[in-house]
Structure 1
Amino acid sequence: MFRLWGKLFNKGRMLRDTVIEKDDPATSRTARILDSLEEICYEFDLSRPIWLEVSIRDFQIHDKVKFTADNFMEEIDFDYLEIQVIEG
């Protein structure tokens, strides 16, 4: 079972969160991450963030990344979106 936790933060407080579960061992881990991120963005009514080099590096090291305003093409009304693999 693969689970990705998505959280929206503003001024140090969590505004919303959700957990996306995937149970398809035939799909690559990268595909599960991207698909789960898309579902999180749909649920939160956000555009998909851009994966910058620093984002990729942080995710590879910690299985967690914060997407700030630099990662979005449109203006955001929160400080950051954080995703974290909690079971993978």
Structure 2
Amino acid sequence: MFRLWVRLFKDNHMQKDTVICNDEDDTRTHKVMKCLEKASYELDLPKPIWLGVNVNDFKMHNKCRFTQDSFIEEVPFDFMEISVIEED
């Protein structure tokens, strides 16, 4: 079971969160991308663009933050944080 926790923060307060599960037999990268796509749909958000800093943080800490710079459209929060909470 692979689970990704997605949280939206505004003024250092969590506004929304969701946990997305993925049971597919796929690579870790594909699981992360599919979970992030599902979370974006569920939270009615545009999909973020992975910048170099996001990739490095995710590789090192299993979590990263997406700020307004990672989105083409305007978003109603300061940052979105994703974290792996379970990985098989």
TM-score scaled by length of structure 2: 0.96
TM-score scaled by length of structure 1: 0.96
- Answer yes or no: is 1:50 the counterpart of 2:49: yes
Task: Write out aligned runs for 1:62-73 (5 A).
Answer: 62-73=61-72
Superposition CA RMSD, Å:
0.6
Unmatched runs of 5 consecutive residues or more in structure 1: none
Pairwise CA distance, 1:23: 1.2
User: Which runs of 4 or more aligned residues in structure 1 lie more than 6 Å from their structure 2 counterparts after TM superposition?
Assistant: none
Pairwise CA distance, 1:55: 0.5
1:36, 1:9 → 2: CA distance?
19
1:77, 1:16 → 2: CA distance?
11
2:21, 2:39 → 1: CA distance?
11
SS in 1 for 2:46: coil
Identical pairs, percent? 49
Query: Number of residues paired by the alignment?
Result: 87
